[in-house]
Structure 1
Amino acid sequence: MRHIFLSLLYLICCQTFAAGNTQNESFSKAKRLLLSNVYAGHHKTLYCDAEYRADKQVITPLGFTTTKQVRRAKRIEWEHVVPAENFGRSFAAWREGDSQCITSKGKTYKGRRCAEKVVPEYRLMQADMYNLFPAIGAVNALRSNYTFTLLPHTPVDFGSCAMKIDNRKAEPPESARGRIARTYLYMDATYPRFSMSRKTRQLMEAWDRMYPVAQWECDRASRIKALQGNDNAVMDKACGRWIANTP
């Protein structure tokens, strides 16, 4: 009964505030659809533009290096551009746990595992494919849940891949900044549980202007809409500008 009540409550919330993902609560299913349907014919990672095979094995880019998470550098993972913690902590189950979050040995737990178990709204946000991108596993691991910013005095961490990470901050390569910005703007406009700081909003709005969409980004949004069902007003606007400016 509790799950039914929470699901109904979420549907009311969605109808009142936003039109996000309301169809798929499974993060695993979202990843399968992204691999087999959304990224079919475009096996390129977000941060390093690395190619990968259908079995998720990375074709290591020339000059790519890492001294950490070396094993994870061999496979792609699906990165939450807006980290799950950024919206997950708005749920009490993440912060405090829940009466249902008890292990077989009687120990309580909280965090992502608990929110995923008991909160339908969290599961829908976690599985929103507009917020998921392929990334080399090592880059995903080291980016963690760090805030994006500019790090002009920080050297790159991955050789030929111009991703910088320092002091719990991350600077993505220029090629990824527009996609990152429009993902943050989408999540902020769509889910009341997530809101950007003023500083982050200013940066993302600047990146949105500086790094306009390319055809693939619009194709990706169209494929996700066909599978997930909801519009992405941020991408609709950006792709409309792109079409208008394309000869």
Structure 2
Amino acid sequence: MIRSFLAAECPMLRLFVLLCLLVTLPAFADAPKTFNAAKKIAWRLYAERPSTFYCQCAYNGNRVDLNNCGYSPRKQLRRAQRLEWEHVVPAWVIGHQRQCWQNGGRKNCTRTDATFKAAEADLHNLVPSIGEVNGDRSNYALGMLSDKPTQYGSCPMVVNFKAKTAMPPAHTRGAAARIYLYMAERYQLRLSKLDRRTYEAWSRQYPISEWERWRNQQVGCVMGHGNPYVGAIDPSRCSPLRRAGNPQRNSG
């Protein structure tokens, strides 16, 4: 139902989303208060479906099986083999608009700005990623490019370093767009008109997948709320986080 409502572009859309974001549900685990804590929880959340976001490569612990998905490293083999946790909306996008960033960058924001710290630790914005892709994407916006996807073998991710833009594979565009729209609403981030139009178009064009609903439920049980652009969570399906290994120190 929420999909049809959003697609209708009702003038009350933003008010509706903001109201949804204010409603939290009891969770079996407290929402993480730091990025490091979020990464440790993320290992457990994705243990049932260990596959990277953009390239759909299987991983075990912090090691990615590149052969599993036909990934060819562009430049950095060692980092390509490493699983990292990526902010879909980069920390730079979250923080550079804030005063704390002007006075000391990300470290200062993490230390002194409660809103930035909460956004940095928001599991709705965190996905498993091949380390090289995470590094190449950097803080670039997601958008459409005319480049052919040849940089990473069979993984159809494209990074245009000159344009400072990354084009995600079609299967992730809808999910990435809904993450951007959620983060912009919840943390009052300013998106450019072009970026907002792109993400709203992707959200309409690429339907919510079964994986995205599963992820929203998993993350929502911990955060206490779902991403309204995906849907509400079912509290009766929340269960305590099971033990899962390898809370490695990977960054996004």
1:31 and 2:32 are equivalent in the alignment: no
Alignment match, 1:7: none
TM-score (norm 2): 0.76
Give 1:129's aligned residue: 123
- Following superposition of structure 1 onto structure 2, how do residues 86-235 of structure 1 map, counting pairs within 5 Å? 86-95=93-102, 97=103, 110-166=104-160, 167=162, 168-192=164-188, 194-235=189-230
Counterpart Cα distance in 2 of 1:152 and 1:43: 30
Change (3 A) 1:17 1:226: closer
Taking the aligned partners of 1:126 and 1:20, their CA distance within structure 2 comes to 20
Where in structure 2 are the equivalents of 1:72-83 lying within 5 Å? Answer: 72-83=79-90
Give the CA deviation at 1:76: 0.9
Percent identity at matched positions? 35
- Name the residue aligned to 2:78: 71
Structure 2: tracts of 5 or more residues without a match: 1-17, 25-29, 233-252
Rounded to whole Å, the distance in 1 between the matches of 2:23 and 2:126 is 14
CA contact (8 A) 1:17 1:191 kept: no
Distance 1:86 1:20, change over 3 A: farther
Q: CA RMSD in A?
A: 2.5
2: CA distance between counterparts of 1:220 and 1:155?
26
Deviation at 1:153, TM superposition (A): 3.3
Larger Rg: 1
Quote the offset at 1:17 in angstroms.
Answer: 11
The match for 2:62 among 52, 56, 61 is 56
CA distance in 2, matches of 1:131, 1:228: 11
- Structure 1 residue identity aligned to 2:219: I
Once the two structures are TM-superposed, the CA of residue 136 in structure 1 deviates from its matched residue by 0.3
1:20-41: CA deviation from partner (whole Å, max 9, x where unpaired):
99943211111111111x2121
Moved more, 86-95 or 174-183: 86-95
Q: Is the 8 A contact 2:92 2:139 kept in 1?
A: yes
Supply the distance in 2 between the matched residues of 1:17 and 1:134 (Cα, whole angstroms).
26
d(CA) in 1 for partners of 2:208, 2:221:
19
Higher relative contact order (CA 8 A, sep 6+): 2
Match of 1:19 in 2: 22
8 A contact 2:21–2:225 mirrored in 1:
no
For residues 209 and 184 of structure 2, the distance between their equivalents in structure 1, rounded to whole angstroms, comes to 22
